[in-house]
Amino acid sequence: MNNLIDTIYYFLYIVAELTLLFVGISTIVGIILMYIPEEKMNKWMSGKGILGNVMGASVGSLTPFCACSTVPMTLGFLEMGVSFGVVMSFVIASPLLNPIIIGMMATIMGLKVTAIYFLVTFVAAILFGVTLENLGFKKYVKNVRMKGERHKDDVPLGFGLRFLKALKGAWEDYKSVLKYLLVGVGLGAAIYGYLPQEFLVKIAGPDNLFAIPVAAIIGVPLYVRAETAIPIGLSLMDKGMSTGAVIALIIGGAGMAIPEMTMLSSIFKKKLVAAMVVAIFLTATIGGFIFNLI
């Protein structure tokens, strides 16, 4: 009975906390983006050399894009002549570093974990963007064109109207991920209340060198959204799973969300999609070991 009460309390508390975080951060970011002209964002992405990759990863980390908006943005950047490597840095950073993930992680896992996570994934997005460019993967972009111009919502005048528009957009985004969040928190609550701590420490504790690559391998095919993975990861850490293994699971799952990969396959050939999967797996594995070393 005590386990059941603890499980229910954990579930309700985390759902409430993540709901406030998601809606609040999404609203704030939505307002900020209304004040950044699209032309300025395009100019940021046009940098030459590795500076362009830095800006591509930066734009990816600033924009809370879902799969339905990542694809037209990616295609739009390519059509404007933005370097392929820069675009790939944006594509890799976008699902791993958007403000919602960073805000959730900072609140639930702490600032130190979040700072290391941000640094690892940001550097990985830059390096893999440069690598894919130098290896000639640009040829695996399909010859597709956007039908018509990209849709751009009218930005209302005045802070009050912009706030209401951003809040409405945040609520709509929240409803679209609610089922994933509830599944993640539900699984996390079950782990928190019922999974034996000794068992988890034995198979995925800091002393098991294979825990991190196994977690990364599990994370990639699971296609777990960050809204699902983070509460599960918190429960696993509470039970004794190493921080590195948890981070590997989060990166592997969040980086390869199945809606995004499905839609990206409409503009990228299979070899490029496969290269992205490998990039996320390597990021998850290397990042996990860095966490455990630190």
Instruction: Give the residue-averaged pLDDT of 160-179.
Output: 81
At 146 the pLDDT is 44
Q: What is the pLDDT of residue 293?
A: 83
Q: What pLDDT score was predicted for residue 204?
A: 53
Does pLDDT of 150 surpass 70?
Answer: no
Q: Over pLDDT 70: what percentage of the chain? A: 70
Highest-confidence range of 5-19, 58-72, 216-230, by mean pLDDT? 5-19
- Give the count of beta carbons closer than 10 Å to the beta carbon of residue 152: 7
pLDDT at 147 (0 to 100) = 44
Q: What is the pLDDT of residue 271?
A: 92
Res 195 pLDDT > 70: no
Burial of residue 72, with CB atoms counted within 10 A of its CB: 0-12 exposed, 13-18 middle, 19 or more buried? middle
Average pLDDT over residues 100-107: 80
For the chain, what is the mean pLDDT?
Answer: 76
Amino acid at 3: N
Average pLDDT of span 178-207: 63
> What is residue 13's predicted lDDT score, i.e. its pLDDT?
78
Which of 37-46, 122-131, 155-164, 222-231 is modeled with the greatest confidence? 122-131
Separation of first and last alpha carbons in the chain: 38
Q: Which two tokens stand for residue 227?
A: 């809204």
The DSSP line for 73-109 is HHHHHHHTT--HHHHHHHHHHHHHH-HHHHHHHHHHH
222-279 residue pLDDT tens: 545 566 667 777 777 777 778 888 888 788 877 766 656 666 777 888 899 889 888 9
Total-model pTM: 0.70
Per the CB < 8 A criterion, the answer to whether 125 and 280 are in contact is: no
User: How many domains are there within the chain?
Assistant: 1
Q: Which of 6-10, 127-131, 190-194, 207-211 has the lowest mean pLDDT?
A: 190-194
Residue 34 predicted with pLDDT over 70: yes
Selected residue with higher pLDDT from 283 and 223: 283
Q: Could you give the CA distance from residue 222 to residue 216 in angstroms, rounded to a whole number?
A: 10
- If you average pLDDT over residues 110-116, what whole number do you get? 88
Range of the domain at 279: 2-293
Q: Residue 148: which pLDDT band, with cuts at 50, 70 and 90?
A: very low
